[in-house]
């Protein structure tokens, strides 16, 4: 997914300001990245380069850390956030099949956002309702005992609702 020039500029400025709040020691890499993500909602390559420069680290090392930890995302979150639970109970009940369904249906990989920025996809640890496994969070809504067919139906009904809402808003203008 491509960032606009404005987004890149904001990422550079924000990560520069955030970095300067910390001492330039390697031990501050993760706290800085967490703060950048807190400010921007994601850590794009432009921000990684700034942080790498500030800490005098090779950019590839920063990239390695960002992509290693699930807590970091490298693209802006979508309008709708799909979070697939991959805790033990959900994993046992086929969480990976559900994740695969979402990936195929949305045409993105976990950690990515669709080109139109409507959806982003994440995997999360146990969300605390294991008896309903496997579980997906669609925005804040818990979708219990989800199946690949339910993924299709859910997406279809939400896309329809979004379309109707947009048409309704256009009609009001
Ligand atoms: S493991 Fe998914 S809700 Fe607990």
64 and 132 belong to one structural domain: no
Half-sphere exposure (Cβ direction) of 36: Cα atoms closer than 13 Å: 37
* CA–CA distances in Å: residue 45 to residues 49, 61, 65, 105, 159: 6, 12, 12, 27, 31
Q: Which of 97, 122, 130 to mutate to test the pocket of ligand 1 (most atoms within 8 A of CB)?
A: 130
Supply the range of the domain harboring residue 87. Answer: 80-172
pTM of the model: 0.79
CATH number at residue 164: 3.40.30.10
Question: Which residues sit opposite 124 in a β-bridge?
Answer: 85
Is residue 73 situated within a structural domain? no
87 and 158 belong to one structural domain: yes
Distance between Cα 122 and ligand 1 center (Å): 14
Binding-site residues, ligand 1, Cβ < 6 A: 85, 87-90, 126-130, 133, 135
Taking only the tens place, the pLDDT of each residue in 37-72 is 999 999 999 999 999 999 999 999 999 999 888 788
Task: Name the residue at shortest CA distance from atom 1 of ligand 1.
Answer: 87
Taking only the tens place, the pLDDT of each residue in 7-28 is 999 999 999 999 999 999 999 9
């Amino acid at each position: 997914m491509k960032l606009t020039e404005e987004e890149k500029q904001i990422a550079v400025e924000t990560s520069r300001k955030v970095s300067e709040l910390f001492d330039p020691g390697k031990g501050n890499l993760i706290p800085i990245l967490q703060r950048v993500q807190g400010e921007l909602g994601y850590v794009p390559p432009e921000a990684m380069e700034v942080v790498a420069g500030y800490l005098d680290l090779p950019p590839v090392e920063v990239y390695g850390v960002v992509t290693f930890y699930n807590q970091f995302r490298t693209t802006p979150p979508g309008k709708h956030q799909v979070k697939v639970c991959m805790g033990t109970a959900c994993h046992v009940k086929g969480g990976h099949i559900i994740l695969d369904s979402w990936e195929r249906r949305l045409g993105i990989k976990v950690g990515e956002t669709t080109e139109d920025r409507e959806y982003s996809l994440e995997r999360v640890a146990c969300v605390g309702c294991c008896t309903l496994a496997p579980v997906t969070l669609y925005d804040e809504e818990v979708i219990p005992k989800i199946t690949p067919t339910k993924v299709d139906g859910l997406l279809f009904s939400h896309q329809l609702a979004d379309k109707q809402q947009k048409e309704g808003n256009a009609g009001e203008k």
